[in-house]
Amino acid sequence: MGFWPFTISDCCLRIQYVAMRIPLWIKLLWTFWVLVWAPVYWREYGLQNFLFFCDLGNVFIAAALWLESPLIFSWQATGLLLFQTLFTIDLVGAWVSGRHWIGGTEYMFAPNISLAIRLLGLFHVVTPPLLLWAIWRLGYDRRAWKYQTLTAWIVVPINYFWRPEYDVNWARGPFFHQQHAVPGFVYLLGYLIIVPAAIYYPTHRFLIWLTARWHAHP
């Protein structure tokens, strides 16, 4: 049929190719890990802990793997890539030198925290290369930083009001310390403006640049 651009066999090959963009073993491994990680963290830290962007990211990444969604991978990358990379740098630096160059990974060396919990925390190290690999594989969706900004606008105010003493996502002050320099609502408004502008959007621009480099040098 000359007017039809694809034969049935062509369509089958395309479907098989799309289905193989993310190997099945990665999907199964991440899903199994989330099913182990989630109840352990729930028992150890409670429900609110899952409002941390990094913990939300684990669930979103599981969905992205099965859906093979460039948007979800890109969305999570704009919010997680910088912080998870800094986590990895600090963790490796502390392991090599005994000093925390940035901070934030002290709990990974705390003897009062079970080894199992600390090992589960290594997902922070796995997340950046997984996200970058998925974007390299599937492409970058330019809507990502807007979705991440909307996520912050929903999640951070919840963190601000719900059990504020835990300062989830630094909703009450940076580095898990409630700030008193300005009124709380001023800080919250500044957070919701500055973080998307100073972190999400620059990460978005970096990922656009990076994917362009990948395409220029296949």
As a whole number, mean pLDDT of residues 131-160 equals 97
Lowest mean pLDDT among 7-21, 63-77, 113-127: 7-21
d(C-alpha 73, C-alpha 64), whole Å? 6
Specify the residue for token string 């969305």. 75
pTM, entire model: 0.86
User: What residues contact residue 178 under an 8 Å CB cut-off, 6+ apart?
Assistant: 164, 165, 167, 172
For 2-20, write each residue's pLDDT tens digit. 434 435 544 444 444 445 6
**Is the pLDDT reported for residue 197 higher than 60?**
yes
